């Protein structure tokens, strides 16, 4: 598997991302993750939707908790043509418990624990920690990657304004707008 360095740090220490470098303009790779009920979920399940996909190390950490809650709040303000997904390696049972306790009901929280399919396809598995990096991908309704943000330090939240600005740009580029 391809190894990439110089992209992400954890607690100030450089770490290695495993997998390919996805670029803006690429066709979004398919993946297979599971939802809180252990049902398989793939990219095709969100066909013709604009997808904000946030990857986090673990929902049970303060930064991931804040990030997913914030995206849940933002999801309430986005049109129905946009879906917000959070992917982690947390077990689906833990994700379900966390969502219930946090009141997260608009973000679809998905687990990559079985196959690490998302991690391998999107290049976000941290070799040293065996966790996902903190990254955000925006994929348009035709499954083309339109925006990528790899958060430099895993203990830092993403630039929400940049993410929301990119989503707005994708929405404005839709035919009929």
Spatial strand order in the sheet of 3-10? 3-10, 13-18, 125-126, 131-132
Q: Supply φ then ψ for residue 87, to 5 degrees.
A: -115, 130
Residues 165, 45: Cα–Cα separation, whole Å: 25
What the block records as the tokens of 136 is: 């955000």
Q: Is 99 a catalytic residue?
A: no
The one catalytic residue among 8, 34, 41, 64: 64
Residues 171, 177: Cα–Cα separation, whole Å: 8
**Residues shown for the chain:** 177
**Coil, helix or strand for 29?**
coil
| Active-site residue set | 64
């Amino acid at each position: 598997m391809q190894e990439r360095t110089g992209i992400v740090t954890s607690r100030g220490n450089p770490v290695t991302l495993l997998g390919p470098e996805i670029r803006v303009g690429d066709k979004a790779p398919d993946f297979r993750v599971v939802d809180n009920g252990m049902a398989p979920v793939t990219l095709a399940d969100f066909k013709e939707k604009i997808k904000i996909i946030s990857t986090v190390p673990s929902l049970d950490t303060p930064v991931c908790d804040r990030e997913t809650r914030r995206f849940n709040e933002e999801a309430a303000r986005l049109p129905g043509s946009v879906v917000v997904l959070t992917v982690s390696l947390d077990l689906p049972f833990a994700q379900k418990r966390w969502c219930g306790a946090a009141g997260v009901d608009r973000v679809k929280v998905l687990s990559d624990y079985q196959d690490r399919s998302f991690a391998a396809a999107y290049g976000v598995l941290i070799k040293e920690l065996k966790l996902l990096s903190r990254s955000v991908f925006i994929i348009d309704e035709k499954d083309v990657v339109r925006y990528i943000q790899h958060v430099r330090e895993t203990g830092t939240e993403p630039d929400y304004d940049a993410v929301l600005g990119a989503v707005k740009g994708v929405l404005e580029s839709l035919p009929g707008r």
